[in-house]
Structure 1
């Protein structure tokens, strides 16, 4: 746990976890669902698009795919089934859209990469917006095809008054990502300080505006957040020792040289890295993958002229795919628990969405400006 507490940057991770857990239990998630229904519910298969938009917005609050499925899945999956959507479709869509949470700021995995690579957290945060939007659009493609083929229902067209009410109710929750990124971009506070501000804001807003968070629930929320943060701390400590052994043996330098010889161009290197990360994601968590591989692969990436922020976002997305892939994807198991469906019922419906995610991942890998454009415009990188 020492490494977790000694690094000021990495302290942002447990604080973002806590802020996300408070937001999930405090009524913010339900308000965001209502707003998304107003925005996209009127289209064919409206609740499916609501699911995608919800994850995009809530991911900007929680930064965690697991929190996303827990907060949104328990409400959206039953609601979609009641409205006539197939349970397997509702479940796999909720599982796959949760991958947006580790990509859009404030991504916990991105904080971890910034710490490992000694890069700007603000830069990697800014680099996640466009890839997150592209993945959301990518998942909308199979959603459109399936919704039209199965004739899924539309939600009633909202009135101006109901739209205004939904926006007003969601606004306090929407201010969390605005405060986080606005404060960082304006230089008011560091990412770690932004995480602390987000926790305080999340503690104040739900009791005042949503009245769904009871103070007696806070010990359980703090305990859940501490357990997850503790797991991350233990992994960091163990991998830190492992990294010392690797460095002493000069193994990273040998791997870097081997990869450079096998992958003579940057795009072949990134393609191989994606394949490696997706494979590792079948039995390791995203945090474990980054902690083990980034110190080994980053020198090779830089040697081939790949920008560390671009490489970092490719790593973040590729490792996050492991959340939804069998046999150990955490979001997959959460979706199974919520819906009651076994894994074999979800694998086939999962494939179109997983294919869309991986297709966008290769697009992001081969077009660096999908990641670097916004950080460059904001002055975080040259």
Structure 2
């Protein structure tokens, strides 16, 4: 580093300036990250443009990242194999009698879906097709229907199993099993906040309510859904008991979802399986390409010691754990508006880790604050991938549903602040069920 041509400040200016300039030109994020590295690699004599390819492919040499396509495939198998339909029926008998019944069902299905798939984009795609048109036909406002579908989809990255938790654990060396446990209570709190928001909307706008389900209907729906609801128990329980690693648990989830779809629910056929595999390949390629180019970007940040330079002044502010937590959440909230969550973890997570450690913030709490903050970016422009998907299904522009979406994010923001102020919200379950993972 002593013989580097560029100073940390100049390197940061070139990297981030080029990256945001490319984003402004509407170059896809993954390509922007890679292309932003090229000027630095050309200018620096000790480096070479070949570093871009070497570090990109080195990032793929990770057993943990195999979980990403497996969880995406699980989500797609759920959609084609009748699993999602059973979860919708169970949700209807559970909360159909509440104000805004179909929107409440939307949230509860997202909770169940999150416990199996780990992918918010897959959730947004499948739930949008199921709920947006159905809600508008029952008298719900289209903007509200889009907003609640997109916002509830973010639960998939918070409630275990979560692709973001797998990536975080692999990049920042944090116990993935502990992260899975830590996401349960925050995820349920956010789901509760979303249901409360739906209740307020429904009462004010007179949204319809379904008749209360009978005990027999509830029992029959529960019996039909038990095989599907067993999936998160197998995934998380298997990791905690040491039966398999997070990546192996994702593979088990695929096998289990396939067995349910073929032999129990008997709704999977060959053409639909081919479609699911093709969709998985496209989504996985996009996600993993982001991982590769973001890894090169992060490698250059480390090479020039840019994180240390950025945090030197911040460390002098004398912030305590709560102040640092707010700063970390703010950084992820801003970055999440422009960047996909996976590269954001690789770049911003590794940058902020020393700051969190400087105030003795537990790595699990740091991870959950980061992941929940990044979940906002899935529905906030200009990135807002889940909101984009929901708007695309509804065939409207993104700004059409923006007001209702922002309203629904306020209760989520209160939960995020609670995570910062009370660390035990995230740490309670890991300390109770797997204390050896949080030491």
TM-score normalised by L of structure 2 = 0.84
The answer for unaligned runs of 5 or more in structure 2 is 1-55
Specify the alignment match of 1:205 in structure 2.
260
User: Distance between the aligned counterparts of 1:241 and 1:328, measured in 2?
Assistant: 21
Q: State the Cα deviation string for residues 237-291 of structure 1 (Å, max 9, x = none).
A: 2222222222221212222323212352121122122222111122211112111
User: Distance between the aligned counterparts of 1:295 and 1:69, measured in 2?
Assistant: 28
Does the 8 Å CA contact 1:42/1:155 hold for their aligned counterparts?
A: yes
Quick one: which of 189, 192, 201 aligns to 1:137? 192
Q: 1:24 to 1:368 in 2, by over 3 A?
A: same
Q: 1:351 to 1:50 in 2, by over 3 A?
A: same
User: Distance between the aligned counterparts of 2:424 and 2:181, measured in 1?
Assistant: 12
Quick one: which of 356, 360, 363 aligns to 1:308? 363
Specify the alignment match of 1:215 in structure 2.
270
Specify the alignment match of 2:438 in structure 1.
381
User: Distance between the aligned counterparts of 1:4 and 1:246, measured in 2?
Assistant: 15
Q: State the Cα deviation string for residues 312-354 of structure 1 (Å, max 9, x = none).
A: 0111011111110122211111111222232232111112211
Does the 8 Å CA contact 1:20/1:61 hold for their aligned counterparts?
A: yes
Specify the alignment match of 2:336 in structure 1.
281
User: Distance between the aligned counterparts of 1:260 and 1:71, measured in 2?
Assistant: 44
Q: State the Cα deviation string for residues 27-47 of structure 1 (Å, max 9, x = none).
A: 111111110111011112122
1:3 CA drift (Å): 4.1
Q: More displaced, 176-185 or 242-251?
A: 242-251
Does the 8 Å CA contact 1:117/1:308 hold for their aligned counterparts?
A: no
Specify the alignment match of 1:360 in structure 2.
415
User: Distance between the aligned counterparts of 1:38 and 1:209, measured in 2?
Assistant: 22
Specify the alignment match of 2:112 in structure 1.
57
Runs of 4+ in 1 over 4 A off after TM superposition: none
User: Distance between the aligned counterparts of 2:293 and 2:207, measured in 1?
Assistant: 48
1:298 CA drift (Å): 0.5
Q: State the Cα deviation string for residues 42-87 of structure 1 (Å, max 9, x = none).
A: 1121222111111111011111111111112211122222222222
1:377 CA drift (Å): 0.7
Quick one: which of 138, 163, 168 aligns to 1:83? 138
The answer for unaligned runs of 5 or more in structure 1 is none
Q: More displaced, 140-149 or 239-248?
A: 239-248
Equivalence map 1:1-382=2 (5 Å): 2-3=57-58, 5-262=60-317, 264-378=319-433, 379=435, 380-382=437-439
Does the 8 Å CA contact 2:98/2:199 hold for their aligned counterparts?
A: no
Q: 1:3 to 1:46 in 2, by over 3 A?
A: farther
User: Distance between the aligned counterparts of 2:127 and 2:224, measured in 1?
Assistant: 17
Q: 1:330 to 1:294 in 2, by over 3 A?
A: same
Does the 8 Å CA contact 1:3/1:236 hold for their aligned counterparts?
A: no
Alpha-carbon RMSD: 1.5
TM-score normalised by L of structure 1 = 0.96
Report how many aligned residue pairs link the two structures.
Answer: 382
Structure showing greater radius of gyration is 2
User: Distance between the aligned counterparts of 2:219 and 2:139, measured in 1?
Assistant: 28
1:4 CA drift (Å): 5.2
